[in-house]
Amino acid sequence: MDFPALVSREGFPPGVTVERLPDPHGEIFRVRNGEGTRGLDLLLTDEAVRMYGEGPTLALVLTRLREVAETGLPEVGVASGYERQVFVGD
């Protein structure tokens, strides 16, 4: 799947970026403002991808990240870093 194209189609607010990062338990999707002072991580577990499929899980992840970006990204903590949400399989 063309991840940059999926992000572009999702319609994130201007100045917001989305990154896809590896994690031992799956992948982290990080949404943040241009300065990097506000943002959120969403961990998509390998288990969730196996259970629901790559396409549906990516769609849910991007929709959730866009919603958070539209309503207001949390501040990045100096000691704690990015707030994290997790999408796991049932």
Asked, for residue 66, whether it belongs to a domain, the answer is yes
Judge whether residue 90 has pLDDT over 80. Answer: no
**Torsions phi, psi for 14 (to 5 deg):** -60, 140
Query: Within a domain: residue 9?
Result: yes
Q: Which pTM was predicted?
A: 0.92
Q: Is residue 64 part of a domain?
A: yes
Amino acid 50: pLDDT: 95
Average pLDDT of the segment spanning 63-81: 94
Average pLDDT over residues 53-60: 94
| Phi, psi of 22, deg, nearest 5 | -70, 150
Q: How far is Cα 73 from Cα 84, in angstroms, rounded to an integer?
A: 12
| Count of structural domains, the chain | 1
- Asked if pLDDT for residue 1 goes beyond 80, the answer is no
Which phi and psi (to 5°) does residue 74 adopt?
-70, 155
Q: Is residue 84 part of a domain?
A: no
Sorted by sequence, the CB contacts under 8 Å of residue 11 that are 6+ apart come out as 66
Task: Please give the structure tokens belonging to residue 69.
Answer: 């970006």
Average pLDDT, the chain: 94
Only one residue has tokens 């949404």, namely 31
**53 is a domain residue:** yes
Report which residue type is found at 47: E
Range of the domain at 20: 3-73
